[in-house]
Amino acid sequence: MPDTPPLWVDGLTRSYGRLVGLDKLDLTLKAGECVALIGANGSGKSTAIRTMAGLLEPSSGSVRICGHDPHTEPDAEEARAALALVPDTPLLYDDLTVRQHLGLVALAHGVLDEDTPARIDALIDQLGLTERADFLPTELSRGLRQKTGLACALIRPSRVLMLDEPVVGLDPPSQALLRQLLLDAKAEGKAILLTTHQMRFADGIADRAIVLGDGKVLDRGRWKDVRGRAADRGWLPDDA
């Protein structure tokens, strides 16, 4: 389906009982495009990205990843094949090393072949994890675990990359590296959705932005325009 957008979201709503975590979000993400979801703590960014990724069930509305519903089996299988998610807290096995994690992810996504070890080594090297490649997650710092989670998302094939607060726990050089990796992914035609409350990080990466507050869309549009308005209206400090 060549015309199918990588991510299509229509009226997506997620409630926690009386509390509306996300209210009627519409979004279409094109290949090679990056959209930033910005907002203060509790604005609904993580709820949005987790619901779109299939980790949370929507209360109403629809999500399609490359035309497939991530919430309904077995169609969700196709959606998962096209999606790579970097959660805000890396979810790793205590008994697998960094290298073994990447091997497992490559295998589970059907891309394990004779080139895989070399690709894993290259990615580990690129992310500065070479020294710790054979360490367990319990032996890693928060930032290195975050990098491992990122590596798990990058080793697998995907058309949509979702990152929930990817810079939390990363030092400035690692943030710069992540920025470059995301620009490379955009150039490869991946659609990127990221949440952040650090607007400076999204500068130069994001093409469009959506500002969330209390689960509602407060503003949306081109990144530069939204960034200015968000700062003017005090939705976020100019750069937190």
Partner 1 sequence: MPDAVASRARVSDVRRFWQTVLEPPGLLRRLEPAYYVLITLVIAGPFIYGTAREALAEVATPRALETWGPSIALVGLLALVRWGAVQGPVIFSVADVAQLLGAPLRRAELVLGRLVRGMLAAAGAGAVAGALVVVGFAGHDRGVAGGRAADLIVSAALLALLGIAGASLVQGSARWDRATRLARWPVLAIAVGLVMLASSGPTGRDVALWSGPWGWAVGPLVGRSALATVLLAVVTAIAVAGAVVRRGMASTERHLVRAEAREGAVAAIYSMNARYVGRSFASVGSRPGTTAGRTLRMPRTPRLAIAWRDAVAALNAPGRLGEALVLATAGCAICLVNADHPAAVAGGALVVYLGASRLLEPLRAETDKPSRVRVLLRKPQGKVMAEHALVPGAVVLAGAVLAVAGCAIAGELPSHGATAALLAVVATPAITMCAALSGRRGGQLPQSVLAVTYGDTTGMSSLILVAWVVAFPVLAIAVDAVPVSLAAEHGTQVLFGCLALVGSVSVVLAIALGWERQPA
The yes or no reply on residue 57 touching partner 1 (CB under 8 A) is yes
When the beta carbons of 24 and 71 are compared against partner 1, the nearer one is 71
- Decide if residue 93 touches partner 1 (CB under 8 A): yes
Q: For the chain, count helices (H), then strands (E).
A: 8, 9
**Segment interacting with partner 1 (CB under 8 A) among 36-44, 166-174, 183-191, 192-200:** 183-191
Question: Is the previous residue joined to 74 through a cis bond, with omega within 30 degrees of 0?
Answer: yes
Cα–Cα distance between 103 and 64 in angstroms, integer? Answer: 28
Number of residues that bind partner 1 (CB under 8 A): 51
Per CB under 8 A, 143 contacts partner 1: no
Residues of 1-18 as b/e, b for ≥16 C-beta within 10 angstroms?
Answer: eeeebbbbbeebbbeeee
- Residue 36 has, within 13 A of its CA and on its CB side, a CA count of 26
Residue 100 within binding range of partner 1, rule CB under 8 A: yes
* 232, 224 Cβ separation under 8 angstroms: no
Q: Out of 119, 216, 220, 229, which residue is the one contacting partner 1 (CB under 8 A)?
A: 119
Residue 215 interacts with partner 1 (CB under 8 A)? no
- Window 184 to 213, contacts with partner 1 (CB under 8 A): 184-185, 188
- Nearest CA to 128 out of 175, 85, 93 is that of 175
Kindly list the residues in this chain that would bind partner 1 in the complex (CB under 8 A). 15-19, 53-57, 71, 73-74, 76-78, 80-83, 85, 87, 91-96, 100-101, 103-112, 119, 152, 154-159, 184-185, 188
